[in-house]
Amino acid sequence: MIQNILDRKGSEVVTVRATDTIKAAADKMREHGVAALVVTSGDTIKGLISERDIVLAVSQLGQAALITTVAMIMTHSVVTVTPSDSLRHAMQLMTSHRVRHLPVVVDGDLVGIVSIGDVVKLRLEDLETETNVLREVRIATR
């Protein structure tokens, strides 16, 4: 479940306003060591901006990208999950929508964010646990 990821990594979400500059967003990403920010207006999710979005903006706009607003390049249609959603569901959403970050929402409130790295890490831990259990069962039945 997505809640398992939030339990491990915490529920802090770094946000940015749509009116902030791309430079301010990049600075915030660097300061917090994150690759994406949720764009908010008050308590409402307006979009998502990622490192990839910033690189594309710099490539297209050059130095002018730094003073361009987040609203100009952010992803507007944000795909979200809930804490009770399964890892499989999150992986399917990430694959079908070609996104690497999913805000976690409960009753319209932002309660966390998960990345593809978070999902893969938890899935690998689950697989390792399953492997160890099967190994122990095999040893016990000899």
What digits encode the pLDDT tens for the residues 120-142? 888 787 777 777 777 777 777 77
What digits encode the pLDDT tens for the residues 18-29? 999 999 999 999
Contacts for 110 with CB less than 8 Å, ≥ 6 apart = 13, 15, 38, 40, 43, 45, 103, 104
- pLDDT > 90? residue 41: no
What digits encode the pLDDT tens for the residues 64-90? 999 999 999 999 889 999 999 999 999
- With contact defined as beta carbons under 8 Å apart, do 22 and 65 qualify? yes
pLDDT of amino acid 141: 76
Cα distance between residue 45 and residue 75, in whole Å: 11
Map out the domains of the chain with their CATH numbers. 2-140 (3.10.580.10)
Whether the pTM exceeds 0.85: the reply is no
